[in-house]
Amino acid sequence: MTSSGRRTVYLDHAATTPMLPAAIEAMTSHLGRTGNASSLHGSGRAARRTVEESRETIAAALNAQPSEIVFTSGGTEADNLALKGLWWARLKDNPGRRRILLSGAEHHAVLDSAVWLAQHEGAEIEWLPVDELGRVRPEEVRQAIEREPESVSFVTVMMANNEVGTLQPIREIAALGREHEIPVHSDAVQAVGQVPVDFAELGVDAMTVSAHKHGGPYGIGALVVRKETQLVPIVHGGGQERDVRSGTLDTPATAGFAVAIEHAIKHQAEEAQRLTKLRDELINGVVGTVPGAKLSGDPVGRLPGNAHLSFSGCEGDSLLLLLDARGIEVSTGSACNAGVAEPSHVLLAMGYDDQRARGSLRFTLGHTSTQADVDAVLENIGPVVERAMSAGLQNVGRNN
């Protein structure tokens, strides 16, 4: 509830999703228990049993082997481990493998890791273009690889875009990687629980997942990595997690993670159908009633819960705050760095101009979303856009 007593409408599930009651119960049941999963005494063995049972559950949900699940503190660490670990492992075998192929629409955990490698390790970043719908085309990946395959370190393309919801042709890209013996990584953080995610069938070498995007706890995720794929650790210590990621394992969090992902996968098909209906009603209602409103991303190949819309003549931040004042919580298509709003790098990569990139909102639905939430958006979005446009015109007048 808001301070005024109004019900809060939460439509920012892409940022984080409320924990499932069953995941909370699983996690809290272990919080009062003592035991380091690396200890050999009874308490340690009990903790290890919980961790390994959780690992097995997560692996089964993703159609991976338990030994392929490497626990991390979340998606950001998993992306860093994938990129830096692959980079250094590949470089050991061949110092000439310096090209990293990735799209300009990736999450910052991937983008910034790649840029760091370029700035500090001599990596050569090659940006894969995305079209106006946010898609990476396999033929572009093939052309980039075949220009000089022996110089490619790895390819990384996210499974589903975190801003506009566009789904990528990961199977085809992974097949290109196998054809040229080049590892392929995919950030699947947004995809798990919304669309089918089958690690073995996708054919990627490494895949990032995060618990809090599908009803699990914050602070835990995993890099799913094939047993034969070599990674150089970026965190050193006790040699946990296949000597790839040292550190004491968070036993309660692994339990919550396992319950959440098992539930998400079990109910994925029916939940996708429900969310798609709500999403389409939201999109059609906004585009049909608000002048200048446009859908961003692929209208068909997109996440069931994602509705990314741009509004002509408005600033996304203003729209967000006006909706927030009415108890509706969404996010913008902008990333704020050091308090300075910048146009979304995803939308700019898709060819949008600054105005459209700045005037966007991301509505993302999840397991707590209802018809009443969509109705609240449709009731409020028109007056909010009118007020934001009016404020924008007033500011233009002052500046002139």
Residue 139 corresponds to which tokens in the numbers above? 């033929």
The CATH code of the domain at 21-266 is: 3.40.640.10
Give the residue carrying structure tokens 């965190």. Answer: 235
The residue annotated as part of the active site, out of 200, 269, 325, 336, is 336
Contacts of 12 (CB under 8 A, 6+ apart): 329, 330, 331, 362, 364
Report the alpha-carbon distance of residue 167 to residue 269 in Å, rounded: 16
When mean pLDDT is compared across 2-6, 191-195, 266-270, 359-363, the lowest value belongs to 2-6
Residue 332 corresponds to which tokens in the numbers above? 């913008």
> One fold for both 9-18+268-399 and 21-266?
no
The domain made up of 9-18+268-399 has a fold known as: Aspartate Aminotransferase, domain 1 (3.90.1150)
Whether the predicted pLDDT of 373 surpasses 60: yes
Pair 125, 114: CB distance under 8 Å: yes
Contacts of 398 (CB under 8 A, 6+ apart): none
φ, ψ for residue 218, nearest 5 deg: -70, 160
Instruction: Go through the chain and tell me how many residues it has.
Output: 400
Percent of the chain beyond pLDDT 70? 94
**Residue-wise pLDDT tens digits, 255-289:** 999 999 999 999 999 999 999 999 999 999 999 99
Predicted confidence at residue 1, as pLDDT, reads 59
Report the alpha-carbon distance of residue 307 to residue 296 in Å, rounded: 8
Quickly state the pLDDT bin for 392 (edges 50, 70, 90): low
Residue 338 burial (CB count, 10 A): 5
Quickly state the pLDDT bin for 10 (edges 50, 70, 90): very high
Pair 231, 207: CB distance under 8 Å: no
Predicted confidence at residue 337, as pLDDT, reads 42
Whether the predicted pLDDT of 394 surpasses 80: no
**Residue-wise pLDDT tens digits, 127-181:** 999 999 999 999 999 999 999 999 999 999 999 999 999 999 999 999 999 999 9
Report the alpha-carbon distance of residue 378 to residue 109 in Å, rounded: 33
Give the single-character DSSP code of 268. H
Q: What is the dihedral of CA 275, 277, 282, 284, to 10 degrees?
A: 150
> Which residue from 123, 138, 124, 118 is spatially nearest to 180, judged by alpha carbons?
138
**DSSP H helices in 239-370:** 251-266, 268-289, 316-325, 345-349, 354-358
Report the alpha-carbon distance of residue 243 to residue 233 in Å, rounded: 7
Contacts of 170 (CB under 8 A, 6+ apart): 157, 159, 184, 186, 202, 204
Residue 82 corresponds to which tokens in the numbers above? 């994938």
- The domain spans of the chain are 9-18+268-399, 21-266
Quickly state the pLDDT bin for 334 (edges 50, 70, 90): very low
Predicted confidence at residue 186, as pLDDT, reads 98
Q: Quick check: is 336 catalytic?
A: yes
pTM for this prediction: 0.94
Whether the predicted pLDDT of 2 surpasses 70: no
173-197: buried (b, 16+ CB within 10 Å) or exposed (e) per residue? Answer: bbebbeeeebbbbbbbbbbbbbbeb
Tell me the C-alpha to C-alpha distance, in Å, between residue 221 and each of 65, 70, 130, 195, 261. Answer: 16, 9, 27, 18, 11
